[in-house]
C-alpha cells in the first residue's frame, strides 16, 4: 500500500518531461512568425490604407515632379470628405485604365469661372499659392456649375495640365485616394500640401 502514493508523482514527472518535446515539435520558428506577421501587416496597409504610386508627368509641378514616389491614403475618402485643395488620385474619366493626380478646385454645386488664368469659385477669386507665376496660363472658361457628386480638378502647372478644363468634372466614384507623403527622392521627402 505504501507504493501507491509514489506512482502518481512518477507518472506526473514522466508527463512533464514528455510535454516540452511534443510542443517543440509543433513550434513555429520565431523568425518565420515575424516574417508572416510583417508581410500580413504590409499587405493590409497597402490594400486598405496606403498605396505607393509613381508620378508620371509634370502637371503637378512644383509640388510633385515626374517620377516622384509617394504614398496615397486610400482610406481618406471612405471615412471623410473630399476638400478643396486636396491633391487626389483618380481614374481618368475618358480611360479608366489610366490614373491622374490633380488638385481639387471645385466641390459639387460650386460655380467655377476662369478669366485669363485666374480661377473664381462662387464669384470669389481663389488664392492659389501653390501655382507659381511661371506656371500660370491665360486660358478662360465661362461659368460652369460642378455637378452633384463630382469634383473640379486642375494641375498646379496650369500651362501644360490636362484637367477638368479639358475633360470636365470627375465623378466621386473615380477618386480613390489622397496624396499623403513623398518618399522618393529624398530631397523631396515630405507631406503633400
Q: Name the active-site residue from 3, 24, 40, 59.
A: 59
Q: Name the active-site residue from 74, 102, 161, 164.
A: 102
For the stretch 137-153, what's the b/e string if a residue is b when 16 or more beta carbons lie within 10 angstroms of its beta carbon? Answer: eeeeeeebebeeebbbb
Query: Which DSSP symbol is given to 98?
Result: S
**Could you confirm whether 102 is annotated as catalytic?**
yes
**Element of type H or E holding 7:** helix 7-26
Reading the block at residue 69, the C-alpha cell is 514616389
Task: For residues 17 and 69, give the distance between their C-alpha atoms in angstroms, rounded to a whole number.
Answer: 56
CA distances (Å), 100 to each of 20, 103, 131, 133, in order? Answer: 58, 10, 18, 23
Task: For residues 49 and 81, give the distance between their C-alpha atoms in angstroms, rounded to a whole number.
Answer: 16
Residues with catalytic roles = 59, 102
Amino acid at each position: 500500500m505504501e507504493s501507491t502514493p509514489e506512482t502518481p508523482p512518477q507518472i506526473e514527472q514522466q508527463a512533464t518531461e514528455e510535454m516540452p518535446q511534443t510542443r517543440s515539435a509543433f513550434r513555429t520558428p520565431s523568425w518565420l512568425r515575424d516574417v508572416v506577421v510583417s508581410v500580413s501587416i504590409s499587405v493590409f496597409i497597402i490594400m486598405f490604407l496606403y498605396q505607393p504610386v509613381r508620378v508620371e508627368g509634370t502637371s503637378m509641378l512644383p509640388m510633385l515632379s515626374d517620377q516622384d514616389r509617394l504614398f496615397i491614403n486610400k482610406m481618406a475618402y471612405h471615412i471623410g470628405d473630399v476638400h478643396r485643395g486636396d491633391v487626389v488620385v483618380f481614374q481618368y474619366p475618358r480611360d479608366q485604365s489610366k490614373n491622374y493626380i490633380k488638385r481639387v478646385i471645385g466641390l459639387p454645386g460650386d460655380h467655377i469661372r476662369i478669366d485669363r488664368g485666374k480661377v473664381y469659385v462662387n464669384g470669389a477669386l481663389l488664392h492659389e499659392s501653390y501655382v507659381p507665376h511661371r506656371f500660370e496660363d491665360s486660358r478662360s472658361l465661362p461659368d460652369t456649375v460642378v455637378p452633384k457628386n463630382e469634383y473640379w480638378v486642375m494641375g498646379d502647372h496650369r500651362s501644360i495640365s490636362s484637367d477638368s478644363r479639358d475633360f470636365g468634372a470627375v465623378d466621386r466614384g473615380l477618386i480613390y485616394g489622397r496624396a499623403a507623403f513623398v518618399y522618393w527622392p529624398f530631397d523631396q521627402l515630405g507631406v503633400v500640401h
